[in-house]
Copies of this chain bind each other. A is one copy, B any other.
């Protein structure tokens, strides 16, 4: 049983960013790959989505050196029709494929008001929100979808079928951080099950199932995740299905249950994953200023909405942007397991390890 790793040190974002890039380059990745993979991991580490943060550096390097991920890929547009395109990522790091596709979607949205790009031959892309955000940073409403290896049962199902199949959406906000929504369509992520196992505490109700598909709160008996919605899990399963259709059916890539497990042991065979991104340019529908005013009015009403005593009502992303601000000041907490892996990578590639910015509180 693994104990949950405790944060032992905090690092400046720039130091982590430079270290990750240097390691990727030293491991044989080209600049584009190093930049995209680092940018996506830093999205996770800056915003507090640590499961998809820099802890993945060692894993990603292994996938590049062992053959699963092409460290010097040549992604190319396979086909284009009007406002949509299909990108072959050439087994790139998933973040490279997704950023490239979103750039293309944004370009298409500039010409057609909306753009959608299906991605073939991609790999794990990390935090879906990063690619929705990339569109929002250009003034578009951005979306990103990806299926993944099976963890989630269907509604009334008794085996793993869909992945945690995330949906991410970002909406630009004038003079503020984007509205940023990044959800797994499962009730909880699988690493939550692992964490609760380590802590020896029960899972929330209706979030995981035993091997017969019956809900269990015992993390030791949890074999698969439940779809979002508990008794109304047909909703989470349906949303996961939509992600599957966009990512796998519309691309001809692998269905969730066909995708090789992320952690291995096989790190040499490309995973053949699909994904899908979309961008909408608000000014194609109404004047930019009207859109910005409407969004500001909506967010002000939402944040001013009455809360349960002792709680706070937040817009999607508010929690993450607040954490990003905290981390800008205090540094990014890194657990000891990840520090150890940094030391190994630094040693292997002859690169200085990043220096902690401050002691943990």
| A residues adjacent to B (C-beta < 8 A) | 79, 81-84, 86, 111-116, 118, 141, 154-159, 161, 169, 171, 179, 181, 183, 187-188, 204-206, 212-214, 228-232, 234-235, 237-239, 241-242, 244-245, 248-252, 255, 257, 280, 282, 284-286, 290-291, 294-295, 297-298, 301-302, 305-309, 311-316
Contacts and interface: CB of A to CB of B under 8 A. Distances in A.
A249 B287 CA distance: 12
Given A156-B311, A286-B250, A82 B84 contact: no
User: SS class of chain A's interface: helix, strand, loop or mixed?
Assistant: mixed
A310 B79 CA distance: 46
8 contacts: A84-B114, A154-B307, A156-B313, A158-B309, A212-B309, A250-B286, A250-B294, A255-B301
A217 to B, nearest CB: 12
B114 A82 contact: yes
Contacts of A295: 245, 249
Contacts of A228: 228-229, 232, 235
A313 B158 CA distance: 9
Given A159-B306, A308-B158, A245 B298 contact: yes
Total copies of this chain within the assembly: 2
A250 to B, nearest CB: 5
B308 A156 contact: yes
Contacts of A81: 112-113, 284-285
A238 to B, nearest CB: 4
B294 A249 contact: yes
Nearest to A245: B171
Given A157-B305, A241-B302, 6 more contacts: A79-B285, A157-B307, A169-B242, A228-B228, A234-B314, A245-B298
Nearest to A214: B308
Contact of A308 (B157, B179, B315): B157
B307 A158 contact: yes
A201 to B, nearest CB: 14
A114 B251 contact: no
Given A302-B241, A306-B213, A206 B230 contact: yes
A141 to B, nearest CB: 7
Given A154-B302, A229-B228, A230-B230, A245 B286 contact: no
Contacts of A282: 250
Report which residue of A232, A234, A255 has the largest number of chain B beta carbons within 10 angstroms of its beta carbon. Answer: A232
A107 B83 CA distance: 13
A283 to B, nearest CB: 8
A82 B291 CA distance: 19
A289 to B, nearest CB: 11
B84 A286 contact: no
A121 to B, nearest CB: 14
Given A81-B112, A113-B84, A114-B82, A241 B291 contact: no
